[in-house]
Amino acid sequence: MTTQTPAVADNAGASAQSTWTCVLFDLDGTLTDSAPGIVDRIDRALTQLGRPIADKSDLFSWVGPPMLESFEQYGFTPNEAIEALDVYRGISEAEGPWSGSSVYAGVPELLAHIKAAGIPLAVASSKPEYQVAQVIEHFDLEQYFDIICGASADETVSAKADVIAEALRRLHHRGVDLTKTLYVGDRIHDVEGATAHGLPVIIVDWGYGTEAEAQGAIAHVSSAAELETHVLG
């Protein structure tokens, strides 16, 4: 995966009512409500590893950032974090990374309308790419996306800015017009990762971020219908 970004217009200050030429979406907390399943798998992984169980409300902050990073912030050494990731990944593989997840209300219709308007769509998630593809396919959303992009399998390349860079590179290779590209997410990692490439961000209120994490976004929305208005006008 590369962090080199194709040239895009300086559209960070663009109006949310602009005609977008491309829209990138986060996955967890934006397209899918995945926290119940993720938190449950983290809880069981910590139990298997003999570690103290964190309060489940605290574990919600793990949803969105790279899981390897979250284990390290919890107190694991780098090598222990890799072992913990393997345990977590084993649980996920046994049940499917979509286990305990659901698609947010109105999202399929939103994607269908944007696709019908001729605007290319992509997923750019810090979840491992093979899992992103599995989740998107499981919920029958792959028909809407030109590109599905995620972290490397070992999550060593998983920073949101790097994943977005790779998504932009692939879109550019396909000849997609990136002059007015929008990113849609729910966490501060989305805002920081997108703005690193000059992309404006819309934050969805139904995700896992706090109000403070929306700082720097051009808008925040409370429903798929409201998001559609911002994207299609």
Which residues are the active-site residues?
A: 26
Q: How far is CA 26 from the centre of its chain?
A: 3
How far apart are the C-alpha atoms of 39 and 53, rounded to whole Å?
A: 11
Q: How is residue 28 annotated by DSSP?
A: B
Q: How far is CA 17 from the centre of its chain?
A: 23
Query: Which CB contacts under 8 angstroms, 24+ apart, belong to 87-96?
Result: 87/45, 87/48, 87/49, 88/41, 88/42, 88/45, 91/41, 91/44, 91/45, 92/41, 92/131, 95/37, 95/41, 96/134, 96/138
Within 10 angstroms of residue 158's Cβ, the number of other Cβ atoms is 22
